Amino acid sequence: MTRILAALSAAVCLTAGLAAAPAAAAPAAAEHRPRTLGELAEKHHKYFGSATDNPEFTDAAYLKLLGSEFGQTTPGNAMKWYATEPERGVFDFTAADQVVAFAKAHHQKVRGHTLIWHNQLPAWLTEGTWTPDELRAILKNHIQTEVRHFKGQVMHWDVVNEAFNEDGTYRETLFYKTLGPGYIADALRWAHETDRHAKLYLNDYNVDGIGPKSDAYYTLIKQLKADGVPVEGFGIQGHLALQYGFPADVQQNMQRFADLGVEVAVTELDIRMNLPATPDKLATQATWYADYVKACLAVKKCVGVTIWDYTDKYSWIPAVFPGEGAALPYDENLLPKPAYYSIKKVLGG
């Protein structure tokens, strides 16, 4: 009997030891896993995200990094008008739903991009002849149908994208020419009526520093706020190029918008260079990325940074700027570049 008890006791101890081993090992493994950019940004009460596009959804290695490294995503094209209302009154959210479902599955925030833009419009809209009343009805229906579809799933909407020219004059889009500048306030009101919890943004490029174009947005947002129009954010795209210099006053510019009482977000950051990429160019790029993220960290109402996709494999730059590229923190093989490590260091990793 004593032998049997001893044997049982030994077996229980062995079983307990085996059961305990994984539990003891798990915290050690967790402690040694490097923090992601998304996790590091959260410690600053901000997000760090990446845009994506539906063709990339066939690339499993790409999706693994997109889902694990970033705390936010933006559909690069799937929410634009040509994709969501290809025929008048006929809506298709299939592609956008795919991105939103991925974000939800990976606990990512979503920025909606974009309700009104002068590019990537369907032919039925651009080739039609519209009275002001007709176009207002079309615009209101488009905005409210799309915002309603994603209500509760989208935290920010880029309601109007790229409304100004470089000199600060209004861009003469279909909407401006037919409806006048009031279309911006109307669009914000219609979006707000449909989803009162989503933050509503105006978004543009070449507004990183203080100049005629960012001044135009400053004046407009100040006036919209005074008129009680629900504008709640200013999106600074951040498409930079090494050959044109870094906007030294980017933090000052962010702060003046924050002082108007709106959020600021870096919405489409990438930093391109003339190819081929060299160690010196990549080092400069890394410094610029770090400095841009530092500027956002220094402004309390700068809520986050989104890179315009994270890998050179899927960058829009080479197709639009021939001879330029290497704009993102990961290379074409999904390997981190100096820029990735510089961002991580600034975030405290």
Tens-digit pLDDT profile for residues 126-140: 999 999 999 999 999
Q: What's the start-to-end Cα distance of the chain, in Å?
A: 59
Residue with tokens 């479902």: 101
Cβ-contact 201, 232 below 8 angstroms: yes
What is the C-alpha separation between 96 and 191, in angstroms, rounded? 18
Phi first, then psi: give them for residue 146, nearest 5 degrees: -70, -45
Cβ-contact 71, 65 below 8 angstroms: no
What is the C-alpha separation between 83 and 88, in angstroms, rounded? 12
pLDDT at 4 over 50: no
Q: Is the dihedral of CA 268, 271, 273, 279 positive or negative?
A: negative
Q: Nearest CA to 116 among 86, 139, 135?
A: 139
Q: Is the dihedral of CA 82, 85, 86, 91 positive or negative?
A: positive
Identify how many contiguous H helices and E strands the chain contains and give both numbers. Answer: 14, 10
- Collapsing DSSP states into helix, strand and coil, what is residue 62? helix
Dump strand ranges (E) for the chain: 47-52, 72-75, 109-116, 156-161, 199-204, 233-236, 239-241, 263-274, 302-307, 324-325
Q: Which residues are catalytic?
A: 162, 268
Residue with tokens 């833009």: 117
For the chain, domain boundaries: 1-33, 37-347
pLDDT tens digits, one per residue of 245-279: 999 999 999 999 999 999 999 999 999 999 999 99
Fold assignment, 37-347: TIM Barrel (3.20.20)
CB atoms within 10 A of CB 3: 7
pLDDT tens digits, one per residue of 180-226: 999 999 999 999 999 999 999 999 999 999 999 999 999 999 999 99
pLDDT at 47 over 60: yes
Residue with tokens 């930079």: 240
Residues in the chain: 349
Q: Is the pTM of this model over 0.85?
A: yes
What is the model's pLDDT at position 31?
A: 56
